[in-house]
Chains A and B, each alone.
Chain A
Amino acid sequence: MAKDKEKLFMKAMKKKFKEDPTDEHTTYYSFGGWKQSKRKREWVEQANKIAKARGLVMMNQDIGVPLGQRVLMPYQLSHTDIYAEADDLHFVNNAAMQQAWDDIRRTVISGLDTAHTVIEKRLQKEVTPETINRYLEAVNHTMPGGAVVQEHMAECSPALTADCYVKVFSGNDELMDEIDKQFRIDINKEFPADQAKQLKEAIGNSLWQKIACPTIVGRICDGGTMSRWSAMQISMAFITSYRLAAGEAAIADFAYAAKHASVLEMGTMMPARRARGPNEPGGIPFGFLADMVQSMRKFPDDPARASLETVALGAVIYDQIYLGSYMSGGVGFTQYATAAYTDNILEDYTYWAVDLIKDKYGGLCKMKPSMDNIEKLGTEVNSYALEMYERYPAAMEAHFGGSQRATVAAAATGIACAMATANANCGVNGWYLSMLQHKERMGRLGFYGYDLQDQCGSANSFSYRSDEGLPHELRGPNYPNYAMNVGHLSGYGGIAAAAHAARGDAFACNPLIKVAFADKNLPFDFANITKEFGRGAMREFMPAGERTVIIPSA
């Protein structure tokens, strides 16, 4: 049996509510409504000023539901000491969340091998470390919006595109030693030795560019623009650094390689009914999301943290931004999604599960992936999670929506099954076991969406054939049954991460993505997701792509 430790959520519960976390009773209706919130008071003042200035009413907290009839509780960003108001975890109000999404959307990974082959074989020119360095210098001029070919050309202000750059990486140490240090993502330096070895073996001798397009371009255009923007600037940089003719037919090969043949986008294109281009959140497979998260690089002995950080990133990217706004258009998904990455509740369930796996199931990755075992472990973890809500009314009230509890209990169960078996599909099967048991036990689950995918999900959890399923790491928000239900995708991301973190894998799905996001020049730190969201909530996070230099000073 797992050890009976102090519950990880106790500190947050005590901060949120004045009563003991086990107390079933409290008082209501006496907290001053919305006025109890510093942030809402600030907004009322702002809205009144705006209304006066424009002669048109604006936000008014007294319209609609009487806000603040109970304590407007603060939220602890899990595995940090940061507390935030719920409002500050809305992506519109949180610059770190915006940057997390900006940094994903503006990332393109493009191979250089095809282009070098064209130069060497077709044009019979030499490619050497010196020419590669010269090219990298050129592409770091063109990518932010610098001109190299036409002599009378409008360019972009570097102050607006300061976050834009190109770096390279390879599994070939000798080649990387020849590359100017400023252009390198050094796998040996950024990753623990065993992870670096795995990554280098997977990447081999090929040379890859990590392109960080300007944040501002992603915001004005869209994710579909990114590979086009990068391909255009790459082509220009080749023209200038290898002294090519701008119109010669071979140039098309560079563009083709950079746009199609040798490019990796962070998200796949979406079908017309969901109508988004590549590099939009709905196209990001769970395995890719797991690879963007860098927890295992910095905390290699803590696979649970890696899973939970992936859940946190998924909650913001998939739930708050994609389903919450891209798909639904609503503003209310924050309240729902924060449950998965605040107050250490999912943390408590997950670490309890890890202890249980070590104590009773032979350790991480040691459990045979049988139905009997998944049912046994899944039942234990799920029952523990639901019991905690029943034993601690404060936790129940913290997750006051059934969808929140269903997501969190299922995420813990799924992560546990993935970690115990080292198999993400076993994990997602555990997720659905949790959902069915939860519904039966409590007689309630989540919103209508839970009647859709969670009642039939067991049936597709091990499906691999292309018309019926996929390995879990390759599923994503665009997977048919997952396309429109908030509160699930974050957990699914965590499950993809869990199976591989438990094994000590350096990556879950794609080594190139893992390395690309290990880059320290990114404004958002993907090794400390919740901390960054917390810094955003505290207004301590400095984002990129600001327009300060082209607008009147305040």
Chain B
Amino acid sequence: MAKYDRQFYPGTTVPAKNRKRFMDPKIKLEKLRDVAMDDVVKILGHRQPGEDYRSIHPPLEESNEPDCPIRQMVTPIEGAKKGDRIRYVQFTDSVYFAPIIPYVRAWMYMTRFRGIDTGTLSGRQIIEMRERDLEKVAKELIDNETFDPAKTGIRGATVHGHACRLDENGLMFDAWQRYRFNAKKGEVEYVKDQVALPLDKPISVGKPMSEAELKKRTTMFRVDGVDMRDDKEVMMTNLRIHRLRTLAGYQPWEIKGE
């Protein structure tokens, strides 16, 4: 029997291929910027740079946990070993070709990260982790190609904006104006943290991508980009899910010839 290669996502179009790329953990995502870790910590707003991590239980080494098969199978992530509290980073992705979109985030997180709890809505996508691990993940997600300074927002609360039109600088709407466009530098800079508390100084997250660049990296099917109906395999797979669920509930093997 041929070796099965996990495909991660069907389809042949740009959004389908990008979905596959984002989900396949063997593919290293392109790093487009390097926001200092201290600045990431400030934007997250959970602790000050240099401040100790707060813990919610003793380090596992000291806690005399009972032995069990699960503990033997699962290696704890660093923050779990140390007893860190669980904190979050939450992104809002504009419908105007933000590179990644909420469900693709969830699917990507599941294949690339361990020790996460993630939740997906239309206007925000949260990932929760032990704090020190979260900071590393947040930096990765801000630095890499899934993030566009103008079309991706880092927002803990008051998240609406993903479906609003863009402002005169092409930035996604944010009622708290956590970020602004620095016309002189051509960069987007955060002036407030995730929950809109003012930062002591602006933090640049770089230049917005051009429209052409966004469309190259997009995971979104849109009529003014790639229409999903033009990706036969994606359509077929999706319709098949609906059909099998309709005809067989969750026992698709019961259906012959479909």
Contact = CB atoms under 8 A, between A and B. Distances in A.
Interface in A82-136: none
A442 B224 contact: no
A400 B235 CA distance: 26
Contacts of B27: none
Contact of B103 (A23, A24, A65, A443): A443
A130 to B, nearest CB: 58
Contact of A442 (B121, B221, B234, B249): B221
B164 A29 contact: no
Contacts of B103: 439, 443-445
Interface in B109-153: 119-123
Interface centre among B122, B227, B243 (most CB of A within 10 A): B122
B36 interface: no
Contacts of A440: 221, 228, 234, 238
Given A387-B223, A396-B95, A458 B120 contact: no
A445 B124 CA distance: 11
Interface stretch (A360-368, A446-454, A514-522): A446-454
A375 interface: yes
Contact of B245 (A29, A389, A459): A459
Nearest to A27: B168
Interface stretch (B72-80, B171-179, B197-205): B171-179
B165 interface: yes
Contacts of B167: 25-28
Interface residues of A, number: 54
Contacts of B177: 29, 69
Contacts of B165: 19, 23-26, 393-394, 396-397
Interface in B157-190: 158, 160, 162-168, 170, 173, 175-177
Contacts of B242: 375, 432-433, 436, 458
Contacts of A325: none
B246 A444 contact: no
B44 interface: no
Contacts of A460: 249
Chain A interface secondary structure, helix, strand, loop or mixed?
A: helix
Nearest to B234: A440
B173 A390 contact: no
Given A391-B223, A391-B224, A458-B242, A443 B104 contact: yes
A65 B158 CA distance: 7
Chain B interface secondary structure, helix, strand, loop or mixed?
A: loop
Interface in B68-104: 93, 95-96, 101-104
A444 B243 contact: no
Contacts of A66: 175-176
Nearest to B229: A383
Given A390-B222, A390-B224, A459-B250, A446 B166 contact: no
A429 interface: yes
B212 interface: no
A456 interface: yes
Contact of B238 (A24, A436, A459): A436
Given A375-B239, A442-B101, A400 B163 contact: yes
Contacts of B238: 436-437, 440
B99 to A, nearest CB: 11
Contacts of B102: 443-444
A-B CB proximity, top 9 nearest: A402-B122, A443-B101, A458-B245, A444-B122, A459-B249, A444-B102, A441-B228, A69-B175, A459-B245
Given A397-B164, A400-B123, 12 more contacts: A24-B96, A29-B177, A65-B175, A375-B242, A400-B160, A400-B162, A436-B238, A436-B241, A442-B222, A443-B103, A446-B121, A459-B245
